[in-house]
Structure 1
């Protein structure tokens, strides 16, 4: 039986064997192909036409994601975990009185100076950070690393004794506070580590920590203090140079290296007593910190050890100077169970936390301005020249938010005129502006450094501060004919008057008498200033003067300083004085207390562009650069600048012309500028302009609370332009600096 295979169904109208709907599918594919050929090029062209917007959008999205990720990572980095140890790297130059190298150029140089350079922090910032850490429950200890402390690729200025004493005090406060909070000293981790100590002062600071570890090959140069004084009299004599020197009185040793072959007995004894007193304080502090390791009589043992030092690693451990010989990797294991946070990082984070807290809670705070005087006292500008220091004091005094001022001094003295200039600024700040000034002595504040401080509200010094030297010294070289014969030069001089200032003529007879009389007058003035400022008799001052140098403890006994303490204590004291002024003026209730203190450093930092240029070419070149740069803009700026400046001080052109206070200011300007009714000068020096402003301030109207300095600039320019169409020549120095700072 045969069968016929089934015939597949056929859709009507379609080809034999085609699947159902095949015709529609093919048609759709055909339409899609046509759509692709027509639409895709159009879409691509439109996309390409908007490629800039699309790229910018993608860039914004990418940037947003990166910013979000970076902020998230920053939050993680800034989160301080519980049970944290602060890691503190201490190198020479990592702690300074004030970091003047804050410009971009210096930061680049410092960053490329070596491997992992230590952050540079000011002493007040470090002390403040340690004090915050002692009250922070998240922090349980500090680990300090002194390794490679004498890194020559970085700043190499070592810490002085007074600075170290303040740091030691802060560490001791931290230890006591944490022991109380954590339930025992054994719960507090205070560890110091180094590969080797480069000098005795480093060990002095490290000994404040509970545990001190050193690399086995390291050493400790515990040898006591010393001083070397070279003498040049014989050498100068060989070259035909004689030195005429006068000193008041017998202890003033500055001139002796040029006039003697050894120190006179009073000066020799004074220097030995100074070193002995400082050394005793160092050993007493170390003995107190290392008492358990050193034994029953630590001071006596240390006095013996400084006679036989320095000490290698094993010797230092046997004598109890260190607690163990470890490498850095081994020392790190001691705190590996704790969280780790860099002290410099902690400083930034907690400073921000503190600022946010004050803003959120609205707690009142006192503002203390700090002005620094570091190094030799000299006239002129520069980082710490007399003009710069005076500018800082005046800025702080004129700042309405500042309640008191601290002048921090670390100086062995210098120019008498410059010292007098700074001293006058202190008196002006207190007498005219009613803002107390507290002087804080650093490592040294002697001679001119003390001259500056006599009329301050209070003088604070550390026990190891070197101060005193209330005396006067003057050196005057005389180049004899033998000198010129030796170098093969002949010289003739001609005078229409006195030859006293010529270094080619020795002082004799009446000229020598006048020279000595000037030194005596300067010394007498110094004595009177000290007596007046310190409320002492002339006889009392004479008993401690004569050029005698002493430490801070001796100065306290002599009545030359008011209290012993560091910079942070001076800031607190200044804040209390400022609060007292407000209470006496009736601004605050008598029982009100304010604990929070905000520190502001004066003078205010210069613009970064100016800092960079100064770092490369110096201050004087910058002044020329500023004038040249701005002078080309004068004609373009002049038209709009006058109206802009008027608006800045809150005056319209009409009110400036008609307001009585403005007319009185202009009249006063005329009187200040040309008291003899002569022509208004073409130029006005900066210091002279400051005096003009002070004169004009007396006519300032309380109803017109505006910037007197700006009004003086406008007024002077207006008067000058009226007199001889001089535009802005007369105010270049001051006005152009203002313009430069606004760029």
Structure 2
């Protein structure tokens, strides 16, 4: 007769069976619930999008307008598809321009309604590109309308392109101008007994100033004032022209503002009307009725006839091409320049180089447009990418750079060797300089009673954040930084046909707008993606061509899961789709993690523009 198992063993066996049974019940419940939702979604997906004549296209620009979306898990991306007015989402600039250009020639669309309430960021360069597309839409005799409860400065820039700007009768237009203020940590670091070691070249390379000063240097003040002046001049001249007012009417000094506010009896909305910032003050109901009168009502008669941005994008999406034709390849370099392979939304020395390599090895791609929207980052990764640009040119494939909102420092490094460089008037570029920085904590540790001691076979073997930095080692690091700066200005001098002295005079870490960079010889022409693609085709001798975006693609399995979940997500309860705890954690930590992720160069040398965030 077999011995009876010990009591503890029987207890744990029973507990495991109980836990496993509960686990299976939960998993099966979730699985069959999702299966039911998917079946419902598939059965309901037969309803085609119907676009009637005299329809308004509602351009819902919620979140951040970008050249390339950051990577998200395919299932998470599918869940996000079901969310409208998501202020944390991202919209591709290319998608917006595609939709507006289609609507321009679509006889069923007679107007565009701008919904800007949740627009968080874009930059003047991207908004100007959208504005140009809206102007082409208006040139066809169609109407652009903006309506909001209130306009931020960036929202108002795009709204100014509208034929009619509506404002809620209790709303306001917030126009403040531009500023640049930072926190400085020198005294705090001294109190914490943290020693910061900074190595840099460039009078205007101010990224390290917060760690070595308690205030902004005079050189940085001069450069920043001129830069902000250039950007604001572009903003105010465009908006003033759109609204047929003077640029100085946009931002009033406090005395003028009080006088205008008094004239409006303290009512910000009436003041906006008086200043000709807006055309009409209405309630939401009055706007609804006005739009019904203009385009007609929808099927249930409760709202005006309209189609959403996403529905119209789906309706007009281009058919997939099964036969590859001669193309201009497009590689997007957006985000911080980091080492290794990086997901979409960041530039990787390995991953971005691989995209350029794919373009070089694809016989159907005859030229490449490199779209740069980056403040820079790792010097090593920047050079990796530039080497692939050189390889493309050596293979006989022209490379044209299209600078987006910013292409500074490392962003300029990867652009410099292109055959032709376009920038927008408000692109932030230049920042030709280099720095290195790290901290040691020997004094802080000693204050706590912790000391480091030992022996090493060389000065290099004992390097540690817990020990003071040898003065000779400091000199070696500074020499490397100086060598890096010399290589940077030499590169620019060679590629832009300038002398070292000429480059040094406009370098020193200084940031320029695209308009100023053109006069300085850092770029070839003012323009955007459309002009860059046409130039690339011209240099390659192509009269007819397609464009092909070269990027990280989802696997067939990921595409299937994303489309399946995306079809069913609108049937899920909101509390299932959203995790407030996760959102809060990401919001609190993502900025901190991103700051640390910027600095991963193997040699500790960075081509980075800290002030390129306007």
TM-score, normalised to structure 1, is 0.63
CA distance in 2, matches of 1:246, 1:120: 36
Name the structure with the higher helix share.
1
Q: Tell me if the contact between 1:103 and 1:612 (Cα under 8 Å) persists in the aligned partners.
A: no
Output aligned runs, 1:68-79, within 5 Å: 73-74=47-48, 77-78=49-50
* Aligned counterpart, 1:462: 424
Query: Are 1:530 and 2:492 matched, yes or no?
Result: yes
* Aligned counterpart, 1:497: 458
* Aligned counterpart, 1:424: 387
CA distance in 2, matches of 1:326, 1:280: 31
Deviation at 1:146, TM superposition (A): 1.8
* Aligned counterpart, 2:375: 412
Distance change (3 Å), C-alpha of 1:120 and 1:483:
closer
* Aligned counterpart, 1:107: 77
Q: Deviations over 1:696-718 (max 9, x none)?
A: xxxxxxxxxxxxxxxxxxxxxxx
Q: What stretches of structure 1 of length at least 5 have no aligned partner?
A: 1-62, 151-156, 180-187, 583-592, 617-743
Distance change (3 Å), C-alpha of 1:124 and 1:575:
farther
- Structure 1 residue matching 2:161: 3-state secondary structure: coil
Distance change (3 Å), C-alpha of 1:598 and 1:370:
closer
Q: Deviations over 1:74-127 (max 9, x none)?
A: 2xx24x43333211112223x332234565322344257677889853111211
Deviation at 1:450, TM superposition (A): 0.5
CA distance in 1, matches of 2:126, 2:103: 19
CA root-mean-square deviation: 3.1
Output aligned runs, 1:614-629, within 5 Å: none
Aligned partner of 1:392 among 337, 347, 355 = 355
Aligned partner of 1:126 among 96, 106, 116 = 96
Query: Are 1:547 and 2:509 matched, yes or no?
Result: yes
Query: Are 1:446 and 2:400 matched, yes or no?
Result: no
CA distance in 2, matches of 1:606, 1:334: 47
Q: Tell me if the contact between 2:327 and 2:364 (Cα under 8 Å) persists in the aligned partners.
A: yes
Distance change (3 Å), C-alpha of 1:117 and 1:304:
closer
Query: Are 1:331 and 2:313 matched, yes or no?
Result: no
Q: Tell me if the contact between 1:412 and 1:444 (Cα under 8 Å) persists in the aligned partners.
A: yes
Output aligned runs, 1:210-249, within 5 Å: 210-249=163-202
Q: Tell me if the contact between 2:341 and 2:351 (Cα under 8 Å) persists in the aligned partners.
A: yes
Distance change (3 Å), C-alpha of 1:238 and 1:100:
closer
Distance change (3 Å), C-alpha of 1:611 and 1:232:
farther
Q: Tell me if the contact between 2:339 and 2:349 (Cα under 8 Å) persists in the aligned partners.
A: yes
Output aligned runs, 1:559-638, within 5 Å: 559-578=521-540, 580=541, 593-594=543-544, 597-606=546-555, 608-609=557-558
Q: Which has the higher contact order (CA 8 A, sep 6+)?
A: 2
Q: Deviations over 1:477-500 (max 9, x none)?
A: 2323x3003344333343222237
Query: Are 1:257 and 2:210 matched, yes or no?
Result: yes
Q: Tell me if the contact between 1:465 and 1:551 (Cα under 8 Å) persists in the aligned partners.
A: yes
CA distance in 2, matches of 1:139, 1:102: 33
* Aligned counterpart, 2:575: none
* Aligned counterpart, 2:599: none
Distance change (3 Å), C-alpha of 1:348 and 1:599:
farther
Q: Tell me if the contact between 1:216 and 1:313 (Cα under 8 Å) persists in the aligned partners.
A: yes
Q: Tell me if the contact between 2:371 and 2:404 (Cα under 8 Å) persists in the aligned partners.
A: yes
CA distance in 1, matches of 2:372, 2:93: 13
Q: Tell me if the contact between 2:194 and 2:439 (Cα under 8 Å) persists in the aligned partners.
A: yes
Q: Tell me if the contact between 1:251 and 1:548 (Cα under 8 Å) persists in the aligned partners.
A: yes
Aligned partner of 2:317 among 344, 351, 363 = 351
Deviation at 1:252, TM superposition (A): 0.9
Q: Tell me if the contact between 1:468 and 1:555 (Cα under 8 Å) persists in the aligned partners.
A: yes
Deviation at 1:304, TM superposition (A): 2.8
- Structure 2 residue matching 1:212: 3-state secondary structure: strand
Query: Are 1:304 and 2:271 matched, yes or no?
Result: no
Deviation at 1:407, TM superposition (A): 1.7
* Aligned counterpart, 1:16: none
* Aligned counterpart, 2:233: 280
Aligned partner of 2:60 among 79, 86, 89 = 89
Query: Are 1:143 and 2:92 matched, yes or no?
Result: no
Distance change (3 Å), C-alpha of 1:493 and 1:256:
farther
Query: Are 1:289 and 2:260 matched, yes or no?
Result: no
- Structure 2 residue matching 1:334: 3-state secondary structure: helix
Distance change (3 Å), C-alpha of 1:252 and 1:424:
same
Deviation at 1:249, TM superposition (A): 1.5
- Structure 1 residue matching 2:121: 3-state secondary structure: coil
Q: Tell me if the contact between 2:234 and 2:426 (Cα under 8 Å) persists in the aligned partners.
A: yes
TM-score, normalised to structure 2, is 0.75
CA distance in 2, matches of 1:611, 1:218: 44
Distance change (3 Å), C-alpha of 1:119 and 1:243:
closer
Q: Tell me if the contact between 1:410 and 1:445 (Cα under 8 Å) persists in the aligned partners.
A: yes
Q: Tell me if the contact between 1:446 and 1:549 (Cα under 8 Å) persists in the aligned partners.
A: yes
Q: Deviations over 1:619-674 (max 9, x none)?
A: xxxxxxxxxxxxxxxxxxxxxxxxxxxxxxxxxxxxxxxxxxxxxxxxxxxxxxxx
Deviation at 1:372, TM superposition (A): 2.0
Aligned partner of 1:191 among 145, 170, 183 = 145
Aligned partner of 2:328 among 362, 368, 375 = 368
- Structure 1 residue matching 2:376: 3-state secondary structure: coil
Q: Tell me if the contact between 1:110 and 1:117 (Cα under 8 Å) persists in the aligned partners.
A: no
* Aligned counterpart, 2:274: 318
- Structure 2 residue matching 1:392: 3-state secondary structure: helix
CA distance in 2, matches of 1:137, 1:365: 30
CA distance in 1, matches of 2:189, 2:126: 37
Deviation at 1:507, TM superposition (A): 4.1
* Aligned counterpart, 2:7: none
Q: Deviations over 1:384-415 (max 9, x none)?
A: 32211111111222223323222222211111
Q: Tell me if the contact between 1:438 and 1:456 (Cα under 8 Å) persists in the aligned partners.
A: yes
CA distance in 1, matches of 2:205, 2:384: 23
Q: Tell me if the contact between 2:200 and 2:482 (Cα under 8 Å) persists in the aligned partners.
A: no
- Structure 2 residue matching 1:547: 3-state secondary structure: coil
CA distance in 2, matches of 1:504, 1:533: 43
Q: What stretches of structure 2 of length at least 5 have no aligned partner?
A: 1-38, 262-266, 296-304, 563-578, 580-614
CA distance in 2, matches of 1:607, 1:540: 52
Deviation at 1:430, TM superposition (A): 1.7
